[in-house]
Amino acid sequence: MLVFVIPLKSSQVAKDWDFVCQLFERCLKSVCNQTSDKFRVIVVCHEKPNISFSHPYITYIEVDYPLPNQQLKDLNLEQEVDWRGAETFSKDIDKGRKLLTGLAYAEKFSPSHVMVVDADDCVSKNLAKFVEENANCNGWYIKSGYLYHESRQFLQVKFKDFNQTCGSSVIIKYELYPLMFSKYQYLHRTTILNNEIPLEPLPFRGGIYSVGNGENIFQTIERQNKRFKKFGILLRIANIFRYRRLTKSICSEFGFNIID
């Protein structure tokens, strides 16, 4: 049994709540598109989103935690703000706190593995079946996937290091999930737990990472533009060979659709 845990930001901190709900609904449809029924979905949120999609395997947990900036004071973490700044760090803490709530609740379903999915990303429909067939493995990290800039007709292939940029990139045995956290921060870049438990690379492209949608914690258009300015024409040329058309096959595997 694979349990997906999805943290959803509050409408009070969203730039465009209606758009957040659209992204989240697409994410839910993708997660629930599994080829095996051996999965469950836990959504942790301040308030339920305005969506029409429903599924019997989805559980909502509503929390009343302080909003991100207040959480730093509430948890006495003001002195631990990292290089990304207080706003980003506080949003990261909000996400981590919701994840720990959802992961603890997941015990109810007796899962073999759990996976964190950000509320604007999509995942392969083959994940639950793969976990079912490999239930004894400690876990996997998604090495290869796709990057998608909203409203475009193509994707960019991330051949390696997908887990270094996307938070929806680790499937792990349930009892090991505490090793993915440093206090309230979720360490999705981790590939070796506790310096002794290695995760395996997933043997297929496992996710679509939505970037430049205005609601990401890290991957904003401004950040992407800085990378282009830093690496110049060589990066642009390299990226051309990574583009793929958004085909029916890809949309089917990832339960994906373009949001108008």
Chain segment 6-61, per-residue pLDDT in tens: 999 999 999 999 999 999 999 999 999 999 999 999 999 999 999 999 999 999 99
CA distance 105 to 22: 26
Q: What CATH number is given to the structural domain containing 239?
A: 3.90.550.10
Give the β-pairing of 2-7 and 39-45. parallel
User: Which residue from 148, 191, 184, 187 is spatially nearest to 23, judged by alpha carbons?
Assistant: 148
CA distance 128 to 38: 6
Question: H or E segment at 23?
Answer: helix 17-31
Asked whether the beta carbons of 106 and 84 are under 8 A apart, the reply is: no
Residue 52 covered by a domain: yes
Beta bridge mates, 45: 62
CA distance 242 to 236: 10
The structural domain count of the chain equals 1
**Nearest-5° angle of CA 71, CA 48, CA 257?**
110
Residue 239 covered by a domain: yes
- pLDDT of 235 reads 52
Domain that holds residue 94: 2-254
Residue 259 covered by a domain: no
CA distance 63 to 248: 38
**Nearest-5° angle of CA 6, CA 12, CA 17?**
65
- State both tokens at 97: 């706190």
CA distance 198 to 72: 32
User: Which residue from 177, 164, 260, 178 is spatially nearest to 218, judged by alpha carbons?
Assistant: 164
Within 17-153, strands assigned E span 39-45, 58-62, 113-116, 122-123, 139-141, 145-149
Residue 260 covered by a domain: no
Question: Could you tell me the mean pLDDT of each successive run of 10 residues in the chain, 260 residues long?
Answer: 97 94 97 98 97 97 89 76 74 93 98 98 98 97 95 91 95 97 91 94 97 60 51 57 88 93
Asked whether the beta carbons of 128 and 118 are under 8 A apart, the reply is: no
